[in-house]
Amino acid sequence: MGLRYFMETIMTGRLNGKVALVTGASKGIGAAVALRLASEGASVIVNYSSSQAGADKVVGEIKAAGGKAVALQANLGNPAEIGPFVEQAAKAFGPLDILINNAGIYEFAPLDAITPEHFHRQFDLNVLGLLLVSQHAARLFNKSGGSIVNVSSGVSTIAPPNSAVYTATKASVDAISMVLAKELAAAKIRVNSINPGMIMTEGAAAAGMEEGGMKAWIESVTPMGRIGTVDEIASVVAFLASDDAAYVTGETLHVTGGLR
C-alpha cells in the first residue's frame, strides 16, 4: 500500500474530521491501518518505537496524497513513556476520536524454555502497554466519543503449540476489550478487538515464517486455503473505527480466513 493506493482509491470520507492514533504503525498491519484511515479522511498520529524511517515513510505517503499525519516515538512497553506520549498525540490534531492499539511483540517458546524475561517482554507491551495507552487516551477523547480497536490475534482461540505466553497476552486483550466496552460505553467510546490470522508482514518474513513449515500448515488448515494480507486487516479496522459500526462494541472479530 502506498501513494498509488491513495490515487486509485475513491475516498469515502467516512472518517473526515476524525483524529486517529495508531500504535506500532511504522510497518506491517499498523502501517496499513494508518494509511487506510488516512485514505478515508482521518488525521493520523503514527507511533513507532525504533523505526523512525518506517514511520516517516508512512507519514510521507499520507502527506503526498493530501492527508495529515505526524510520527511520534514512544516505547509503549515502558510505562513511564506512555502518559507524555498520549498527551503529545492529543495535541497534534486535537482530541482523539480513534485509538488503534496495534503495538505488540510475539515470541514463541515451548513450556520448558519459558523464562520471566520471555513472559514480561510480551505482557509488558501487549497487555500492560495496551491498558495504559487506553487509560490515558480515554481521558483525552473527543467529548462525542469514538472508537478503540485492539489488534489481538487468532492465536487466542487457535492456541498453537509453543505459544503459551503470546496466546495468553492475546486472550487477555480479548477479555480487556469486552470489559472496557462496558466501562467506556457511558463516554460513548466503543471498544472492539480484531483477531487476524497469519498475515505476512515484515516481522513474519524476518522470523522465517514465509519459507518455513508454519505458513504451509496455516494454509492447509485454513478453510480459505491462504494467509491474509495487511490490507484485508486494515479494511476491517477502518469499519470498526467508523460510524458504520456505531452499534458494535465489546466484540471480538476474527479475520482468519475461517480458521478457529
Task: Report yes or no: 104 and 176 within 8 Å, Cβ to Cβ.
Answer: no
Write out the catalytic residue numbers: 166
Q: Which of 168, 154, 176 is nearest to 222 (CA)?
A: 154
Q: What is the pLDDT of residues 196-240, one digit of tens each?
A: 999 988 766 665 666 667 788 889 999 999 999 999 999 999 999
Number of domains in the chain: 1
Residue 28 belongs to domain spanning: 15-253
In a domain, 183, yes or no: yes
Poorest-confidence range of 8-12, 59-63, 114-118, 160-164?
8-12
Across the range 66-73, mean pLDDT stands at 98
**Nearest CA to 245 among 100, 147, 143?**
147
| CATH number for the domain harbouring residue 59 | 3.40.50.720
Distance in angstroms (rounded) separating the CA atoms of residues 32 and 202: 12
For residue 31, is it within any domain?
A: yes
Cα–Cα–Cα angle for 252, 254, 257, rounded to 5 degrees:
175
Residue 138 CB coordination number (10 Å): 19
Residue 9 lies in a domain: no
Q: Is residue 6 part of a domain?
A: no
Is residue 4 in a domain? Answer: no
Query: Does 168 fall in a domain?
Result: yes
User: Does some domain include residue 98?
Assistant: yes
Give yes or no for residue 125 having a pLDDT over 90.
Answer: yes
State whether residue 193 is helix, strand or coil.
strand
